[in-house]
Chains A and B, each alone.
Chain A
């Protein structure tokens, strides 16, 4: 059965479009969806390129006729990996086209394979970087020597931000050309903080929701497809996590987390590990429905092995609510992360932290105002996109 002939009827061939293409066409019709996608793209771009926009390490440096690009030397491994991930995400359609020819025989659908290939490349590069490259930090080195260089291209907002730098004389400055969003009560440039906050928000949005959805999909499909005692046990475990209000669980975990764990990864892990119950429920319900469908019976009758049945036929057909839920989930995660930073439970460069400062220093409206606006815009675009995706996939979905 492996060499299925493609349909030769021109009428049928013209009409048959992939599911993704149909959803994409629906999405393209909505202005709000397109605007949200552009804003999300810009946010991700800003998050990835933050050191080039605001920072203290120059992009180009010419001293005594010698040309160097110090910023590439001082980027961290994670920053390189993030940039690679961003580029790979944009290249996804290309890979999709490359892996499509072998689609009939492959174990997973082209999209899944393309995503897995990219994730593997990214992970491999990150691993290689961590092993081979040592990160260097020389705070303030270039800013102090700026006069000695013939040419120095600093980032758009050259902001000193290193231990020992006395930024206090700069504190509470309203917006100027040098500091487009002013400075906060510690004298730090607010634009810089907003950019690095965007980074935190984006990382947490994508990674935490990715982890949560991943766990939910795996557990939910197993639980829904096999049923019986497997389902019973997983369902009970899920109930336990469903009935501790998520914020309660998160607050407790973050309060007792070891001090050595970086705050950002702690939040990602906590949000990911507590966010799988909804995807689990959606996937389980979908698979309970799908496993009785005719095409599943037909596939089973053909003797297709169970893992392939799940990967190729059952799970892709149940992904719709997961996708919608994940889009809304990112909005929720951004919200939660800001709230946690606001409650002083984590110390990450976060929009919530700026807002928390605003509670005591209301006069610096430029600081907390821009942080609030940043959260609002991010959450709004994800909610708009979520609504559009839901309407494109199935307006009756109750998410």
Chain B
């Protein structure tokens, strides 16, 4: 098992290299640059000639004749490798060959990463004023993590009883009603639910002003005691968490139903029934336990998808988490920040998949990894 985990961890390295390479090249080879993106974000779509004129004006003012400076993750002339071409490798940074300069840029980015330097964000600053993407993410991760942890717990707590009850009473009214309701819940677009919640339940909307939006803490949060703090957090995260939960729990409840049904049809359950065990004991002691374990694995495997989904939820409720930061960073070509975000999401997906596989083997002794 230890060798298996080690092998998986080592295999992550080429995968992560590939992941970062794909994103880096997409951003570098795309037309446009941060200055043009800034102009477009401010004044909407303008015609190409006007765009070029005003972009050149800004470039001149900033002293950026070669805009590759700006697209370089190591923004800033004094830090840029392009400013001091030190070897044959870097000659093409100033050239117009986009592919070559992107390749060089990637090598630079990677070599800097190896010494723990993530570059600098073009647009965003952390609360201390630092442009380090790592610090920026450090501020945002707790927000996203809080939302997702609460959502995960709720999904688990709701989905399993519902799914198991549906399987237990298969074909009866509870099963039919719940399967229909679950499918309907699964099909409600998050953007619709978010809009309705925000408008009718959120503060600043036009309905009942029940829940605050936009932040996870009240003003004067520091002065509260522990209980008040947690209540405050729950109050603030109600709407986004509901948005995250309802789709995911439908999916998991369906899975729980299938899982328990499979076990109820298994040979060992028939044996248990044949030897005269009461039905309650057959279900709760034998079948239920066996179907609970794959559910835990499924839940872990669902985490990456949930975190992906929280990008949309964070944007709807303007919660300052990693997802909203990603959308903002993508909109202004903030390469260094985008790369840090990509790494974060990639590593998270890989780690949770690994944990899921390990749990799977741990729960089921028949599964053996070499």
Real binding pair: yes
Binding site for B on A (CB under 8 A): 236-237, 239-249, 251-259, 331, 335, 338-339, 342-343, 345, 352, 355-356, 358-359, 362-363, 368, 371-372, 375-376, 379-380, 383-384, 387, 398
Q: Which residues of B contact A387 (CB under 8 A)?
A: 183
Of the listed residues A255, A339, A398, the one surrounded by the most CB atoms of chain B closer than 10 A to its CB is A255
5 A-B contacts (beta carbon < 8 Å): A245-B304, A248-B311, A259-B45, A331-B187, A383-B187
- Distance (Å) between the CB of B284 and the closest chain A CB? 25
Q: In the bound complex, do residue B23 and residue A244 qualify as a contact, i.e. CB atoms below 8 Å apart?
A: yes
Q: Which residues in B have their C-beta under 8 angstroms from that of A247? A: 308-309, 311-312
Residues of B within 8 Å of A253, CB to CB, are 26
Contact A376 B192 (CB under 8 A): yes
Q: What are the interface flags for B244-274 relative to A under an 8 Å C-beta threshold, 1 for contact and 0 otherwise?
A: 0000000000000010000000000000000
* Cβ 8 A contact of A243, one of B15, B186, B330: B15
Give the residues in chain B near A363, CB-CB below 8 Å: 206
Report how many A-B pairs have Cβ atoms within 8 Å.
135
Is B338 an interface residue when CB atoms closer than 8 A count as contact? yes
Shortest CB distance A355–B (Å): 5
CB distance from A185 to the nearest CB of B (A): 14
Interface positions, chain B 10-32, Cβ under 8 Å from A, are 14-16, 18-19, 22-23, 26-27, 30-32
Alpha-carbon distance between A375 and B195 when the two chains are bound, in angstroms: 14
Is the Cβ of A256 less than 8 Å from the Cβ of B32?
yes
Instruction: Report the contact-size class of chain B (Cβ under 8 Å from the partner).
Output: 35 or more
Q: Is the CB of B326 within 8 A of A248?
A: yes
Contacts of A239 in B (CB 8 A): 15, 18
**Closest chain A residue to B309 by CB distance?**
A247
**8 nearest A-B residue pairs (beta carbon):** A240-B18, A372-B192, A256-B30, A255-B330, A362-B199, A245-B308, A380-B187, A379-B187
Interface residues of B, dominant DSSP: helix
Is B22 touching A355 in the complex (CB atoms < 8 A)? Answer: no
Known: A243-B349, A244-B346. A252 touches B15 (CB 8 A): no
Q: A236-B18, A243-B346, A259-B45 are in contact. Are A252 and B338 (CB under 8 A)?
A: yes
Complex Cα–Cα for A236 and B17 (A): 11
Tell me whether chain A's interface is mostly helix, strand or loop, or mixed: helix
Contact of B158 with A by CB under 8 A: no
User: Cβ of B18: which chain A residues have Cβ within 8 Å of it?
Assistant: 236-237, 239-240
A372 touching B326 by the CB < 8 A rule?
no
Asked if B188 is at the interface of the complex by the 8 Å CB criterion, the answer is: yes
List the A side residues contacting B23 at CB < 8 Å: 244, 249, 252
The answer, yes or no, to whether B341 is at the interface (CB within 8 Å) is yes
Least distance between A387 CB and chain B CB atoms (Å): 7
Q: How far is the CB of A276 from chain B (nearest CB, A)?
A: 14
Shortest Cβ gap from B38 to chain A (Å): 13
Choose one: B183, B331, B338, B353; the contact of A383 (CB below 8 Å). B183
Check B345 against A256 for contact (C-beta < 8 Å).
no
For the complex, what is the distance from the CA of A240 to the CA of B23, rounded to whole Å?
A: 11
| Inter-chain contact A257/B30, CB cutoff 8 Å | yes
Cβ-defined contact, A251 with B327, below 8 A: yes
Instruction: Judge whether B291 is part of the interface by a CB distance below 8 angstroms.
Output: no
Q: Is B307 an interface residue (CB 8 A)?
A: yes
Instruction: Please state if B331 and A248 are interface contacts (CB–CB under 8 Å).
Output: no
Pick from B45, B192, B326: contact of A375, CB below 8 A: B192
Contact B308 A240 (CB under 8 A): no
Q: Which chain A residue has the least Cβ–Cβ distance from B23? A: A252
B319 CB-CB contact with A under 8 Å: no
Chain A residues closer than 8 Å to B304, beta-carbon distance: 245
Other A-B pairs beyond A248-B326, A256-B30, A331-B187, 4, CB < 8 Å:
A248-B308, A249-B22, A252-B26, A355-B195
Contacts of A383 in B (CB 8 A): 183, 186-187
Q: Mark B297-327, 1 if CB is under 8 A from A, else 0.
A: 0000000110111011001100000000011
- Which of B183, B191, B308 has the largest count of A CB atoms less than 10 A from its CB? B191
Q: Which residues does chain B contribute within 8 Å of A379, judged by CB atoms?
A: 187, 189
State the CA gap A300–B315 with chains docked (Å): 55
